Each structure stands twice: as C-alpha cells, then as structure tokens.
Structure 1
Amino acid sequence: MTRPLDPAKQQEIVQLASSGMTRNEIAKKVGCAPATVSRWANRAGIEFDRSATQSAVAARQMDLKALRSEAALRTIRRVIQLDDMFYGITDIKDLRELAATVRDTSISHFNISRLDMEDDSLVEVKGQFRDFMSDIRENAAFIEWRDKQQILEQPEQPAIEPNHRQDEP
C-alpha cells in the first residue's frame, strides 16, 4: 500500500507544475514517482506539455526506420551475392546450403522490411523470393539427375582376384 503524500509536497507539485517544470524534473525534486506528479497535477487541472516527448519519440522512430532500412539493404545485397553464387554450384550439398542461407537471409529481409513497406511491395518481395527458391529447386533436381546418370554410366569394375603365388606349397 502506498503512503499518502504529504500535503506540503502536494502543494509543491502543483506549484512546480504551474511554473512549467516537467513531470520528471518535479518527481526528482520532490522525491516521488512521476505518476504521482501526474496524478496531483491532473487533480489541479494542470497538463504537462507533451510536445518535447512527442518530438523525441518521432525522432527516435525515424532513427529506427533508418536503421531498419540499412539492415534491409544489407540483407538484400547478401541475397544478390548468393544469387551470383547460385550459377556456379555443381554439388547438391553446396546447393542445399546455399538455399538454406538464401531462405534465412530472405526471411530476415522480409521481417525487417515489412515494418515499413506497403502491402504491394511485400507481395513483390515474396514473389521474388519464391521465384529464386524455385530456381534453386530446379537446379537441385538437375544436379541430382546428373549425379545419378554419372553413377549409371560408370563402367563396372572387374572383380580383383587375390594373387596366388605359384611357389606356395
């Protein structure tokens, strides 16, 4: 249970709030919680100027959007690098590893981008990802087929008989 606020502190909160001091400044000066300051100011019909807080929040949101944009750009660059690697791969294991990396990187890009993108752009990103993964699956099927053909076309090796020496008794 909270202790009742001393009437002198209540009066001081109202006086400081009327003078234009911020809620957090008053809370520090008086030694109480910011919510207590808000409650007593509201009871006295005083509202705090929230424009500084709103400006700070808006600036922070813009900073975070810029950071997300940079991260999205890095992930899309990585997908482009991986796409360039795709055409040189001839081993199925390497192709599967590439596909997993592309999938994970694309999901990261999508998750970062969806916070700031329009729905139409998200549909386009999903479509590009789907197309790229389809290309990887087709290449994987070709590599598997090619590997099977190479195994089938290999000539059978004659069985090697053990050496028998003539001079053994």
Structure 2
Amino acid sequence: MANPPPLTPEERDRIAQLHAEGKTRNDIARILGRSKSTITLAARGLGLTFDRSATAAATQAKQADAKARRAQLKLDLLDDAERLRLRLWEPTTVVLSTPKGPARVTLDLPPARDARDIMGAVQAAVRSHVDLDRLDISDGADAAKSMLGQLGEALQVAADQLNGTTSDE
C-alpha cells in the first residue's frame, strides 16, 4: 500500500488549532482524514499531548461497577448452590404411571436421576462462582498485560518514526 503524502504545514497548523480547541486525537484524525498514528506523531512533533484522564476515570469507574456486580453474583451463586443442595435431602413428590392412571407419590429423597441432576446444577453454580473469583484475582495480571501492550505500542510508534512510516496507514 502506498504511503500517504506527508502532512502539509497547513495540516500541522490545523492539528495544533484543533488540539487547542480540546479535540481528541480520534476527532482530529476524522476531521483531517488522516490516521490516528499520523496525528499522534504530528502532535508529538509539535510538543502536544492528549489528555486521557477522563477516559481513564470512566474506565476505572466501569471496572469498579463490574467488580461489585460480580461480587454480588458470586454470593448469589453460592446461595443458589446451597438451596439446590438442600433439595437432595428433602422429600420429593413424583408422578408415577400405574394401571389405574397417574399417581402422585412422595418419596423421602429425590430419585437417583434427579439427585444427579441437582448435583450437576450445584457443581455448575460453584464452578461459576470459582470462575468469577479467578476473574477478579487476575485483575493484577491484566493490568500488567495492559502495561506491556502500551509499551509495545509506544515502541512501534518509535520504530515507525525512525523508519519514516506509520503503522496504521
């Protein structure tokens, strides 16, 4: 794919103007019809940076909300597992076919097949609880992965600058 033409002095001035107006990098890229990396490189060359604090704060708030919802769901899943498990030891009414027609019979415990199904549901609830627990435990690892990803992107931008190319054009 052919490289796009270099930015004109007018485009660089327009980038500075739009940045001063508070436009985001993505907005400027859209307005000028240039790639995000081109705008990033030009802004950096002009000594400009883009404020990401609002985005970071919104992301943190959403993550905190999701973590709270997962915590409640984990508790609910344990409650579900406990309630289901109690059914293993309760009398159960079943309908049996008899020569005289269907008959309701109360058993001291659920039939083996029903007990197996109940245990499967208990296991599924507990497994879901554990999976949600693991998700919250892995938050620290995800933060490290995110930092490494950002470092990789920064290295790519630096390499592109050295080579005189941009990565997403």
- RCO higher in 1 or 2 (8 Å CA, sep ≥ 6)? 2
Q: Is the 8 A contact 1:14 1:40 kept in 2?
A: no
1:112 deviates by 1.1
Establish whether residue 85 from structure 1 lines up as the match of residue 87 from structure 2. yes
5+ residue gaps, structure 2, are 91-108, 139-169
Instruction: Tell me what 2:63 maps to.
Output: 61
Q: Greater share of strand residues, 1 or 2?
A: 2
Query: Are residues 1:115 and 2:135 paired?
Result: yes
TM-score between both structures, scaled by the size of structure 1: 0.60
* Greater mean deviation of Cα atoms: 25-34 or 77-86: 25-34
Calculate the TM-score normalised by the size of structure 2: 0.60
Structure 1 residues 74 and 5, CA gap change in structure 2 (3 angstroms):
farther
| Conserved 8 A contact 2:16-2:43 | yes
Q: Residues 8-35 of structure 1, C-alpha deviation per residue, up to 9 Å, x if partnerless?
A: 2233113322443321222232222333
Which residue in the other structure is 1:14 paired with?
A: 16
The percentage of aligned residue pairs carrying the same residue is 32
- Corresponding position: 1:99 with 2:119: yes
Distance, in Å, in 2 between the alignment partners of 1:117 and 1:78 is 22
Q: Which amino acid in the other structure matches residue 112 of structure 2?
A: I
The Cα shift of 1:51 comes to 0.8
Output the aligned Cα RMSD: 2.2
Displacement after TM superposition at 1:54 (Å): 0.9
Gaps of 5+ in 1: 119-169
Find the counterpart in structure 1 of residue 52 from structure 2: 50
Alignment coverage as a number of residue pairs: 118
Which letter does structure 2 place at the counterpart of 1:3? P
Distance in 2 separating the partners of 1:63 and 1:35:
32
Higher Cα Rg, which structure: 1
Among 30, 37, 40, the alignment partner of 1:38 is 40
Change (3 A) 1:42 1:32: same
